[in-house]
Amino acid sequence: MVTYRYLGDSGLKVSEITYGNWITHGSQVGDEVATRTVHAALDAGITTFDTSDNYANGRAEAVLGGALAGRRRESLEIFTKVYFPTGRLGPNDTGLSRKHIMESIAGSLRRLGTDYVDLYQAHRFDYGTPLEETMQAFADLVRQGKVLYVGVSEWTAEQLREGHALAKELGVRLISSQTQYSMLWRVIEGRIIPTSAEIGVSQLVFSPMAQGVLSGKYVPGRPVPAGSRAAESQEGARFLERFMGERTLTAVQALRPVAERVGLTMPQLAIAWVLQNPGVASAIVGASRPEQLSDTVKASGVTLDAQTRQAIDDILSGVVVDDPELTESMSFKNRLV
């Protein structure tokens, strides 16, 4: 079963494994399978669910809301996000303006079938909207009871610090930073993690298996497996392609004996590794079928000793990406519409 951690310096506990439905729900996976997978997550002790209004243009939220219908709301932590466009792509259908935030939360709550979300996250930094406007809108949603806590995703350390300070002035708890993090992608370690620790923010990390590369299923010199994300997903391609070089895939294969030595599968090792970082509250994982989760959740509560962590570092030396400047590469300097 999954264990739990506090999110930031708040009193909110989240499961160490968060179920995320980017790419899968409303697109790759049928609704009936998606519902069974959500129920499998609940049976495994996962109580935290992460989605976004732009995933499958709102369909992912709707599928998740339907799958959670009838469950005790107080026993769940439901997270969603705002920034990217949905709908007909009018001039205000993206970003973090007050207009877009207020309209987006209304749609998210309707699709999720709930009166509030536990965490509302700014999916990217909006260079076109004053940060004061964004944080005031978030603060108003908290006071209206539609949002309990506020988070961000892929903001730089400086943006995170400024947003946290504004939230504090407004009496709002900004407690999380959703970031990409894995054995191969460590760009948050240089600035994001230290800044977050200083201001009381936790990381919710996505792609802990580097879009499936750390599962070991991509073998250098062989065709990608049918049905894999590399074979089917266009949306995840830009995250995946950076890990598909022969040198990286060869190094990943060398991790297999390390995993076997500590009694873990390759996916379990990858997820357990990100959870060793005390700044990480939860690893966000997806699943296209229920049985995948029975393997994944076994990474919760695992402790990797120093020898194992050093062996991983030695094997991956030379293929790890750790330039902190790359955090800003995830942002969009111009709005999409």
Which residues are tagged catalytic? 55
Task: Choose among 233, 193, 256, 268: nearest CA to 23.
Answer: 233
Cα dihedral: 307, 309, 314, 319 (round 10): 170
**Bridge partners for 282 per DSSP:** 204
Query: Contact at 8 Å (CB) between 210 and 183?
Result: yes
Structure tokens belonging to residue 51: 């989605």
d(CA 193, CA 280): 9
Query: Contact at 8 Å (CB) between 45 and 297?
Result: yes
The per-residue b/e assignment along 4-43, b for 16 or more CB within 10 angstroms, e otherwise, is bbebbebebebbbbbbbbbbbbbbbbeeebbbbbbebbbe
Cα 204 to Cα 26, 207, 261: the distances in Å are 23, 10, 28
Query: Contact at 8 Å (CB) between 92 and 131?
Result: no
| CA-atom Rg of the chain in angstroms | 19
Helical (H) or strand (E) element with 178? strand 174-180
Query: Contact at 8 Å (CB) between 100 and 141?
Result: no
d(CA 55, CA 38): 16
Cα 267 to Cα 133, 224, 299, 335: the distances in Å are 41, 17, 8, 35
